[in-house]
Structure 1
């Protein structure tokens, strides 16, 4: 597979993290400018699609180099990391909400966060938590990612060698999940908010696009009206935009098209990733790939660097945002939801996410040893030759990292 990193993955994953944060802060005015307000899909589709793309890109390369057994072990190890991160994050979130509930008198934050079951039956809730059945508000994405990544070893061989078969199997899971509501159970007799049997299709499609990007671009670099697929996708995006705007502002005059109609629902439609919603995102992805081809100079602009940095550390930044969203909500409640407070907390939360990503970038650079200098007159790298100046004292490297730390090994995922 291509060795060069596709910075579009990092950029759009960072953008999705901001959208997810703003969508998770109740009554946040900046939430009015996120993707969910201009179509049938939102940042969740971006995240799952890019998760499949980057996972197949990384573990597919590993499978071809070291075999599927090694790739499977690495995938399962990553699943365990995500599982532990989810449990730890849930404990932190519950601690924050229980503490804040004692200081915010106007609202019941424990009930709003979906923690009532834990208060009423903590033993059962704890078991359900370990089984990924107890998921309060904001805690649904990580269990979905764990489930999708856990199923990747079974799909990876066909994704790499028989893409048509992989797509057929994925559709075979998607259709009954969408049409019949086939889903995993949750605590209290409910089901998963993100149905993994439905959302796996978007994950697999992302992986298939990663394999295809090996040999050909996802779309032509310069779109043209003479490309029927591009024009068709653009028209469908416009149709979905019109629907979304009409449902928000009925004065546009399309009341005959209701958001409660089959295949057009925002609520259950998101759980089962209904076809209209899936089609809206795939059309957006195709048009975006046409307009913003890989390797564009715009990705090197200074304004894009914070987003790319967040995308490189998506797990850490996402977990941080899950804590920042309720903290911003609590701060807004203490300020009586004043507009200035709402804008301030939303912007400040993004600044803190950018700061975390920058710190992680710095930490990674500090932990990476510089390559050894080449020996003069040789064609291979070797240890640096320390010169001996006229005074007879040897010169030494002033950087202890070069002498003490081993070179880091890149890890997929």
Structure 2
């Protein structure tokens, strides 16, 4: 039986949402402290891994309690909700971008956001939107999540019983996809920017981690510096951080980076989830889990704000997508002056946290019992 909700999962999911928002605002100074600046992976890996973890954690309980078909029904219902949200979010995003573009004279935000297809061929764009083939910038994670969730009923029963077998099959698919060109069709680039055929492996690993977390384990008695896996993961994470930081100074990077290592390392594909990206995230996740084994640190005020955002990740993610072009518009109005850039980034963060707080308050309000003992249903 899997354990209950882990606040650490909510915390890191909330942190990933913050990083995604900051990364989506061009020239944002706070975007320099996000995960992508200190390693090969970024918040996208965190988002997908935790999506797999949370999905398996939730629907495996439904599977055990109510059976396979009810679990399938609830998974498909959730996927439908995400699909409807995607359609409305895209419509709202286009309206905001068109408005922002009319206020910014120095840049073409419509082209930068990948909305040219809608301008040149609106009828086809609407069809492509319904088929998840039209995905402007900022919109890629949600369609990926929809496709991965639709595949969950196929693997969930086996994943619960034999997680290693599912991981092995998923790994084979992950390795074959780039070689055989497996991907889904899309407008603009021709294929999905986040290839679901490769990113499914990280989603499955998240689900397997949820299964593993529910299994009894013997306590680790050796210190961290005596654990070879931890030392290897920490070393790889550190080296990846050094290499990533060296990208800021190309001449130094080219001078110190061995040619053999460069040939093995580059290009680092985000579309196909390059192995060095995958290994970096797994190493970073392992080191983090070892350094933060307990849950007590999630009880402080700042951590609680991130946890709350993680609990309402869909709503907060959608708001972040809509706020990013508005923040970009505000910054462009003052020629990207750094005080405005920091202000818009922090304002977006406050609004995202405020939305999560409101949703939490509204949920508690609906759960407040009446005097006759029945819950409120207003």
Q: Could you list the per-position Cα deviations for residues 63-98 of structure 1 after superposition, in whole angstroms to 9, with x for gaps in the alignment? A: 011111100000000000000001100000001111
Q: Could you list the per-position Cα deviations for residues 104-137 of structure 1 after superposition, in whole angstroms to 9, with x for gaps in the alignment? A: 1111111111111110011111100000000001
Q: How does 1:28-177 map to 2 (within 5 A)?
A: 28-177=28-177
Q: 1:404 to 1:346 in 2, by over 3 A?
A: closer
Question: 2:174 touches 2:198 (CA, 8 Å); kept in 1?
Answer: yes
- Following superposition, the deviation at residue 263 of structure 1 comes to 4.6
Q: Could you list the per-position Cα deviations for residues 337-356 of structure 1 after superposition, in whole angstroms to 9, with x for gaps in the alignment? A: 11110010001100000000
- Following superposition, the deviation at residue 264 of structure 1 comes to 3.4
Higher RCO (CA < 8 A, seq sep 6+) = 2
Q: 1:298 to 1:277 in 2, by over 3 A?
A: same
Question: 2:144 touches 2:196 (CA, 8 Å); kept in 1?
Answer: yes
- Following superposition, the deviation at residue 328 of structure 1 comes to 0.1
Question: 1:247 touches 1:258 (CA, 8 Å); kept in 2?
Answer: no
Unaligned runs of 5+ in 2: none
Q: How does 1:4-403 map to 2 (within 5 A)?
A: 4-188=4-188, 190-216=190-216, 220=220, 223-250=223-250, 251=252, 253-256=255-258, 261-266=263-268, 269-294=269-294, 296-370=295-369, 399=370, 402-403=373-374
Q: Could you list the per-position Cα deviations for residues 4-60 of structure 1 after superposition, in whole angstroms to 9, with x for gaps in the alignment? A: 321000000000011000000001011000000001000000010000001000000
Secondary structure of 1:193's match? Answer: coil
Matched residues in 2 for 1:124 and 1:260: separation?
A: 42
So what's the TM-score if we normalise by structure 1? 0.87
Q: Over aligned residues, Cα RMSD in angstroms?
A: 2.1
Matched residues in 1 for 2:326 and 2:51: separation?
A: 27
Question: 1:264 touches 1:274 (CA, 8 Å); kept in 2?
Answer: no
Secondary structure of 1:185's match? Answer: coil
Q: 1:10 to 1:171 in 2, by over 3 A?
A: same
Matched residues in 1 for 2:371 and 2:259: separation?
A: 67
Question: 1:23 touches 1:31 (CA, 8 Å); kept in 2?
Answer: yes
**Greater displacement, 218-227 / 115-124:** 218-227
Whose Rg is larger?
A: 1
Question: 1:236 touches 1:283 (CA, 8 Å); kept in 2?
Answer: yes
Matched, 1:405 2:376: yes
Secondary structure of 2:224's match? Answer: coil
Secondary structure of 2:226's match? Answer: coil
Matched residues in 1 for 2:307 and 2:235: separation?
A: 30
Secondary structure of 1:350's match? Answer: helix
Count matched residues.
376
Q: 1:223 to 1:131 in 2, by over 3 A?
A: farther
- Following superposition, the deviation at residue 249 of structure 1 comes to 2.4
Matched residues in 2 for 1:132 and 1:262: separation?
A: 34
Q: 1:225 to 1:83 in 2, by over 3 A?
A: same
Question: 2:167 touches 2:205 (CA, 8 Å); kept in 1?
Answer: yes
Secondary structure of 2:270's match? Answer: helix
Matched residues in 2 for 1:14 and 1:338: separation?
A: 28
Question: 1:79 touches 1:146 (CA, 8 Å); kept in 2?
Answer: yes
